[in-house]
Amino acid sequence: MITTPVLEIDKLIHPNGLPARLKVERRIVFALIEHLQNVGFEIDSVDDGYDDISVHNNAGDAMELIFNLDYANLYFKNKQGNFHYVSLSMGEGTDMISDWSYSHDDADGFGAAMDKFDTEDYA
């Protein structure tokens, strides 16, 4: 079992502890971030629907923003500065990853990395 960051937003909204279904989503997002960082993509920002908020490759900062929203786009960039996004829909459990972007030829491997990530591994 992976250990996720303790989020301030969770302490405020769920002072008696997170329900199991929400713990699953935190594990999924944290594991996704680690997975993509391990293959060369860093977190750039979170799009909250109004603004892109820089998170400087910090999973905890990204998760604080993500789990204060119903829907968010998480932007990653490769070493060359090319961007990709992952769309997240909170409240959907293992189906929370609703979309992601990658180039047609997947030259940097983002699409392949996303194909290898299975949310069910963290349920």
Residue whose token pair is 């293992």 = 94
Residue 61 domain-assigned? Answer: yes
- Assess contact for 25 and 63: CB atoms under 8 A: no
Q: Helix, strand, or coil here: 86? A: strand
The answer to whether position 2 is within a domain reads no
| pLDDT averaged over every residue in the chain | 95
In the block, tokens 């999973």 appear at 59
d(CA 106, CA 112): 7
DSSP state of 60: H
1: pLDDT strictly greater than 90:
no
Residue 123 in domain: no
Count of the separate structural domains present in the chain: 1
Task: Give the pLDDT band (50/70/90) at residue 103.
Answer: confident
Taking alpha carbons only, the member of 27, 43, 58 closest to residue 121 is: 27
Q: Does residue 45 sit within a domain?
A: yes
Inter-helix orientation angle 59-66/20-38, to 10° = 140
Give tens-digit pLDDT for 111-120. 999 999 999 9
Q: What is the mean pLDDT of residues 59-68?
A: 96
Q: What is the pLDDT of residues 20-57, one digit of tens each?
A: 999 999 999 999 999 999 999 999 999 999 999 999 99
Give the three-class secondary structure for 9.
helix
Cα separation of 104 and 98, whole Å? 19
Q: What is the dihedral of CA 10, 15, 16, 20, to 10 degrees?
A: -10
- Boundaries of domain holding 21: 8-116
